Structure 1
Amino acid sequence: MLIFAKDISQRDFVHSAEDRDPDIKEYMSYQRSLFPYTIVRAGLDLAYKELDDILNYVENDNQPPADSNRQEYPSDIPGWYRTRFPWTSVFINMEDMHNLLVILIKAMDSFRTHEKLNTYHLMLLYDSVHNIVELYNGLLKESQEKARDIHLSQSTPVDFDDFVNNYWPHLDFMILSQPDYEHARHLKRKQEIELAIQQRMADGEEPIKALAEASETFELDESSLHLLRRDKVPQKFLELESVPPNSKPYDLLDEEIQG
């Protein structure tokens, strides 16, 4: 199982102030309507299916494979990749993304082990979850019946910004870039890191050195530095880090709401 900031296998969240505050009760009711594990898993499955189709198409000299069910293929494959996976495509190629997806899906199938995510994994998961949430919310607008096969919630639109705020431990892959969502819970850290880098650069330091020094202050992990430098991805950053089975890796959502 993948370790997020909160346990994606849990749904029965409770807040002690629910009976006193209608807004908190409404928010926690919304949280209980979601299926976090399914949101993540469905995002990975969709990403894998789409990318696998495209890679098979490319390997077949840009011709649809005989066993393909896909009706249309993009004429501009790199453009499709950038549009469909806007963060992932900046930092890794399609082949590495495919390898990452295989590793992440395998880990999602294991409920006896826990694996820690690095920045590459969090970035790919961000794009994948965004795509499935957009699809699901769009289907809900058309018909709840159409959305039932995906079933990310109890027929409730999923707030992607809120989901990321709750389940992502950080968004360090966005440092020095502009996200499309506010992500208020992560914004302060991002701004502080960027300010530290910019101040060091204003003092004449090279960007890479400024990033390295800021990383010590804000404890960016090695994968974040590697990604932000846009270095070639080594195998060790594709792999997940296993956590001892007797550890307690999760913080539950209890007692937390958006401010």
Structure 2
Amino acid sequence: MSTLTDAFRSTYDLAFQKSPIILVGGIASNTLGGMLPIIALGGQALGAVQGALTSGSLSTDDFFATYVPIPGSTLISQQIATYPFANQAVAANSTIQQPLTISLRMIAPVKDTAGYLTKLAIWTSLQSSLVAHNAAGGRYHVATPWRIYTDCLLQSIADTTGGDGKQQQIMAQWDFVQPLVTQMQAGSAYNSLMSKLSSGAQITPPTTAGSSIWSSAATAVGTAAQNAVSNVTNLTGVVNQYLSAPL
């Protein structure tokens, strides 16, 4: 049981803390599945390989960096109009979906004497690879414990190291944005009532009959459940591709 628990923990750490960023397209276009884990860049897997050769086993502590989600990432983001509304129904429907944001803190302290010699080379290689990936139209999948953000764009990487420790430049904040990238997603950002308002079509007021209200609610819940099942199926494919991506 302990071995199984350790295996689950190692898988969790690898997926969400050691390599939660997957490059898609761009410089990863010619790789298996068109995806490349972040630990494959800049020789970041070298530390893990060295640790495995030394101890005879692979430990997640041997990887170059650890990634931690920063509070403030969004699951739902909507822009609400500020003009006066006729009623609550109009107010609730006068919203526009906004891109989601996700930020990670990369923690990469030097762990041994050799690390001071390889730090500059690793970071230089990583920065050059990411610049080339962005220039080639590359995207990113970002895995967090509560959601996998697919097809994100890298907005910035900034040094966030505090002054408490003795080492400099060991923490960096990665900011990603998940935009509305397809016409279908952009179209779904507007709800049916907004479409009626913009086209001048007749708006039917909600009925007060209990049967009609519960019937509409049941239909909405059923549709949401079907969409949820579809999304889970899609995410399962993403996770499988993510875990099977070559190091």
More strand by share: 2
- Larger RCO: 1 or 2 (CA < 8 Å, sep 6+): 1
Greater C-alpha radius of gyration: 2
Q: Shared fold (TM-score greater than 0.5)?
A: no
- TM-score, normalising length: structure 2: 0.29
- TM-score, normalising length: structure 1: 0.28
More helix by share: 1
